[in-house]
Amino acid sequence: MKSSIFRYKTGIIFVFLSVVSFQLNAQDKTTENADEENIGRFISFQATLLQPVAFGDNFANDALSQNAGYKLALRFYLYKDLFLGVEVGSFSADVENKALVGDFDDSNANTYGVTAGYSFLFNETNALDAAASYGFANYRNKKNNVDDRFVDNGNYVKLQVQYNYKFSQSLSVYAMAAWRYDFLDIDASPQIDDFINQAQYLTFGIGVKFNVITDRSKLW
Amino acid sequence: MKKIVLIIILIFSIVCLSCETRIEDNRRITITGKIQDQNEVPLNNINVISGNENFKLGNIQSDDNGEFLLTSLSIDNGDFNEDDEFVSDRIRQININAVEDENDFGLTASNDQFNRIELINTIPFQGVEINLGTIILNEVSQLTVNIDKGSFADQELTAFVDIVSTSCIFELDEIIDDDELSCETLNVFTPSRNLPAGSNDASFEFETLKGRTSVISVVDQADQTLFNQEFEINETNEIINISL
């Protein structure tokens, strides 16, 4: 499992370095008198405050109570409004029914993934982003009176829509909703395998997005 | 001197690291069974706990059919076998009809009308499920013995009461493939109680199994038997009055 984590982290770093390298190369060629109509974002950084809501017949819905969490994402607009990015997220959950999951007290659900999507620009101030994400998920579980957390590992997929309202070229706020499916690798008996190894969430959030503006004509 | 202190600190550090309990990543163990009394009546709300010496790993109550499916965490402490594979006993004990109290768990019955069963695991366990089959609990009686010393009031006497243990212990690996789990041969032991000189009456309480016999005897300081009789314990709250 550690090698799996390493591969994800290495992949994310590789994507990040590749795109930053491309950006630096592009910026070198940017002329000082860029046309106002041609300017566009290249990188956006967004921070989300989110509330996951678990549903379905699984441990997350039946045994845990989710608290508010956050997500940080970096998006690279590689071609027009098509973007590729990386994201990390986390929320905590309290164990409400220990009989279903084992005797521990709380959990931190973390995700590290890559995302791809498209921005639909309606007008100067309104846009809708649609994105799909895939990555690594882990639940770092804590039992009171035991020092170390123990971990349940797996992966996640996520589909997300995000409505953006633009205040300026470099600043937007947004509201988002997402469906997330976690599939874990817990070694368990067939009696509980489906229940303990999957989780589904609807996630709702609000956030702020910072755009790095550059000369669009020089980027694509 | 500093070297000695350092060596002592190092030894203590190693000892503490090796004894620290870790919970295993990415593993749950399920423990299933059906609890009923000796008349095959399902028993609900009987507490089942899995754990090690220090804490609970899982806990559940039997349902209306007497059945339970306990999801337990797994202990990560273990050692490497001859094939260099890491193995752990994972679950050290399973307590049936027991609750957790301030200092420990498993010592107090969750339903005091029935006996307790403790399963101890001392061998490496590689699986993820344990089926305990049908678990039969025996009814418990709260036995009260009242003794009227009569003409022996001025003497110091001793009373002996045969009672049957209301808990039993099994090795987990010995019963894991059995269809039925029951305390068939419960220990009989004989606690004594002192009846001091100068008092007319004495009353003692014991816990024993319902449906068994109990021999009660009273002896004086010279070990001469003043009373000896066998009683059938048939009531949940059995009261035996003895007059000497």
Contact A99 B71 (CB under 8 A): yes
Instruction: Compute CA distances A7 → A12, A16, A113, whole Å.
Output: 9, 14, 11
Asked whether residue B124 falls in the same domain as residue B209, the answer is no
Residues of chain B in contact with residue A148, where contact means CB-CB under 8 angstroms, are 20, 22-23
Q: Is residue B7 part of a domain?
A: no
Give CA angle at A175 (A169, A180), nearest 5°. Answer: 125
Q: Which residue has the tokens 């609890």?
A: B35
Q: Which residue has the tokens 């469906």?
A: A179
Contact A188 B27 (CB under 8 A): yes
Check CB contact of A183 with chain B, cutoff 8 Å.
no
Beta bridge partners of A35: none
Fold topology of A2-219: Porin (2.40.160)
- Nearest CA distance, B175 vs chain A (angstrom): 20
User: Considering Cα of A46, then A200, then A97, then B118, what sign does the dihedral take?
Assistant: negative
- Nearest CA distance, B33 vs chain A (angstrom): 13
Tell me which residues of chain A have a pLDDT lower than 50: 1-2, 17, 19-36, 220
Q: How many helices (H) and strands (E) does chain B have?
A: 2, 22
Check CB contact of A185 with chain B, cutoff 8 Å.
yes
Residues of chain A in contact with residue B58, where contact means CB-CB under 8 angstroms, are 98-99, 102-103
Distance CA(A215)–CA(A213), nearest Å, equals: 7
Asked whether residue B194 falls in the same domain as residue B224, the answer is yes
- Nearest CA distance, A201 vs chain B (angstrom): 21
- Which of A189, A192, A196, A197 to mutate against chain B (most B CBs within 10 Å)? A189
The Cβ-side half-sphere exposure at B1, using a 13 Å CA radius, reads 0
Q: Is residue B234 part of a domain?
A: yes
Check CB contact of A101 with chain B, cutoff 8 Å.
yes
Q: Is residue B123 part of a domain?
A: yes
Check CB contact of A189 with chain B, cutoff 8 Å.
yes
Predicted local distance difference test score (pLDDT) of residue B181:
81
Q: What is the pTM of this model?
A: 0.77
Asked whether residue B68 falls in the same domain as residue B155, the answer is no
Asked whether residue B194 falls in the same domain as residue B148, the answer is yes
Q: Which domain holds residue B122?
A: 20-137
Domain range annotation of chain A = 2-219
Residues of chain B in contact with residue A102, where contact means CB-CB under 8 angstroms, are 28, 57-58, 71-73
Beta bridge partners of A82: A79, A118
Predicted local distance difference test score (pLDDT) of residue A4:
52
Asked whether residue B172 falls in the same domain as residue B203, the answer is yes
Strand order across the beta sheet in which B116-120 lies: B56-61, B47-51, B93-96, B116-120, B167-171
Question: Nearest by CB to B30, which of A104, A147, A189?
Answer: A189
**Of the candidates B137, B161, B195, which is a domain's last residue?**
B137
Q: Is residue B168 part of a domain?
A: yes
ipTM of the complex: 0.77
Q: Is residue B5 part of a domain?
A: no
Q: Is residue B58 part of a domain?
A: yes
Residues of chain B in contact with residue A153, where contact means CB-CB under 8 angstroms, are 25-26
Contact B56 A103 (CB under 8 A): yes
Contact A150 B22 (CB under 8 A): yes
Q: What is the CATH number of the domain that holds B164?
A: 2.60.40
Q: What is the CATH number of the domain that holds B97?
A: 2.60.40.10
**Between chain A and chain B, how many beta carbons pairs sit less than 8 Å apart?**
83
Predicted local distance difference test score (pLDDT) of residue A60:
96
The terminus-to-terminus CA distance of chain B in angstroms comes to 71
Contact B27 A153 (CB under 8 A): no
Asked whether residue B31 falls in the same domain as residue B76, the answer is yes
Distance CA(A210)–CA(B215), nearest Å, equals: 86
Per-residue pLDDT of chain B (244 residues; tens, 9 = 90+): 555 555 554 554 444 444 466 888 999 999 999 999 988 999 999 999 998 877 889 999 999 999 999 999 998 766 666 676 666 677 888 989 888 776 666 667 778 788 889 888 877 777 899 999 999 998 889 999 999 988 888 888 899 998 888 888 888 877 776 778 888 766 788 888 888 888 888 888 888 888 888 899 999 888 899 889 899 998 889 999 988 8
**The total number of structural domains that make up chain B:** 2
Contact B71 A148 (CB under 8 A): no
Asked whether residue B132 falls in the same domain as residue B151, the answer is no
Predicted local distance difference test score (pLDDT) of residue A28:
44
Beta bridge partners of A196: none
Question: Which residue stretches of chain A are H helix?
Answer: 2-28, 59-62, 98-101, 193-196, 216-219
Question: Which residue stretches of B119-232 are H helix?
Answer: 172-175
Give CA angle at B71 (B70, B77), nearest 5°. Answer: 120
